Amino acid sequence: MEPKKHQKLRKSIVTKKVAIAGVAGLLIGMLLVLGIRFVTYKPEVVHYHANFAVYVNGVKEQFKALKYYEETEVTACTLEPVDSPKERAHMHGNVNDVVHVEDHLVTWSHFMQNLGWSLGDDYLKTADAIYPVSEQKKLVFILNGKPVENIADQIIQDKDKLLISYGTATSSQLQEQYKSIPATAGTYDTSKDPAGCGAGGEVKMSDRIRNLF
Ligand SMILES: [Zn+2]
Number of helical (H) and strand (E) elements in the chain, helices listed first: 7, 11
Q: Which residues pair with 90 in a beta bridge?
A: 100
- How far is ligand 1, taken at its centre, from the CA of residue 46, in Å? 10
Give this prediction's pTM. 0.75
Q: What is the pLDDT of residue 182?
A: 98
Residue 18 binned pLDDT confidence (cut-offs 50, 70, 90): confident
- How far is ligand 1, taken at its centre, from the CA of residue 74, in Å? 13
Amino acid at 184: T
- CA atoms of 108 and 118, how far apart (whole Å): 10
Other C-beta atoms lying within 10 Å of the C-beta of residue 11 = 10
The answer to whether 152 and 131 are in contact (CB under 8 A) is: no
Between the alpha carbon of residue 15 and those of residues 1, 147, 157, 159, the distances in Å are: 21, 78, 62, 63
Q: What is the pLDDT of residue 17?
A: 83
Q: Is the pLDDT of residue 118 over 60?
A: yes
Residue 75, phi-psi category: left (phi > 0), alpha (psi -120 to 50), beta (remainder): alpha
pLDDT tens across 51-61, in order? 999 999 999 99
The answer to whether 56 and 166 are in contact (CB under 8 A) is: yes
- How far is ligand 1, taken at its centre, from the CA of residue 174, in Å? 27
Q: What is the pLDDT of residue 68?
A: 96
More confident residue, 178 or 76: 178
- How far is ligand 1, taken at its centre, from the CA of residue 181, in Å? 17
pLDDT tens across 33-48, in order? 888 887 777 667 899 9
- How far is ligand 1, taken at its centre, from the CA of residue 126, in Å? 23
Other C-beta atoms lying within 10 Å of the C-beta of residue 72 = 14
More confident residue, 205 or 101: 101
- How far is ligand 1, taken at its centre, from the CA of residue 48, in Å? 6
The answer to whether 140 and 168 are in contact (CB under 8 A) is: no
- How far is ligand 1, taken at its centre, from the CA of residue 213, in Å? 29
